[in-house]
Amino acid sequence: MNYQEFLESKKKIKETDGIDIELDDLNPVLFDYQKAIVKKALKKKRFALFEACGMGKTLQQLEWAHQVNKETNMPVLILAPLGVTVQTAYEEAPLLGYEVKVLRDDFSIDNGLYITNYEQLDNIDTNLFAGIVLDESSVLKNFKGKTRVQLTNAFKNTKYRLCCTATPAPNDLMELLNHADFLGIMTTAQALATYFINDMKTGSYRLKGHATKDFYKWCCNWSVNIESPKDLGYEADYYVLPKLIEQNIMIDIDVIDDDFEHGLFREIGTSATSFHKEKNRTADVRAKKCAEIAMKDNEQYLIWCDTNLEADLLKKYIPEAVEVRGSDKPQRKERCALNFKNGKIRVLISKPKIFGYGMNFQKCHNVIFCGLTYSYENYHQALRRIYRFGQKQDVYSYIVLGTTEMHILETVNKKKELQHNLKNQMDMSVQEIQLLNFEGKEVNEVFQLQKIEIPNFL
Rounded CA-CA distance 283/281 in Å is 6
Q: Please say whether the beta carbons of 405 and 294 come within 8 A.
A: no
pTM, rounded to two decimals: 0.81
In 243-326, beta strands by DSSP E: 244-251, 301-304, 322-323
Domains 10-237 and 244-408 agree in fold: yes
Measured CA to CA, the distance from residue 17 to residue 19 in angstroms comes to 7
pLDDT at 454: 43
Looking at residue 5, what is its pLDDT? Answer: 57
H or E element that contains 315: helix 308-317
d(CA 372, CA 352): 11
**What letters, b where the CB count within 10 A reaches 16 and e where it falls short, cover 4-22?**
eeeeeeeeeeeebebbebe
Residues sharing a CB contact under 8 Å with residue 420, sequence separation 6 or more, in sequence order: none
* Three-class SS state of 296: coil
Residues of the chain with pLDDT below 70 are 1-16, 142-144, 168-172, 199-204, 255-272, 421-429, 439-458
446 alpha-carbon distance from chain centroid: 35
- Dihedral, 306, 308, 314, 320 alpha carbons, nearest 10: 120
Residue spans per domain, the chain: 10-237, 244-408
**Homologous superfamily of the 10-237 domain (CATH):** Tandem AAA-ATPase domain (3.40.50.10810)
Per the document, the length of the chain is: 458
pLDDT digits (tens, 9 = 90+) for 191-241: 888 888 876 565 567 777 777 778 888 888 899 988 888 888 887 777 778
Q: What's the CA gap between 176 and 377, in Å, rounded?
A: 16
- Give the residues across from 50 on adjacent strands: 165, 225
Q: Counting beta carbons within 10 angstroms of the beta carbon of residue 451, is it exposed (0 to 12), middle (13 to 18) or buried (19 or more)?
A: exposed
pLDDT at residue 112 in the model = 95
Q: Tell me which architecture the domain covering 244-408 has in CATH.
A: 3-Layer(aba) Sandwich (3.40)
Contact 37, 213 (CB under 8 A): no
pLDDT at 49: 95
Side chain identity, residue 232: L
Across the chain, what does the average pLDDT equal?
Answer: 84
Which pLDDT score is estimated for 143? Answer: 54
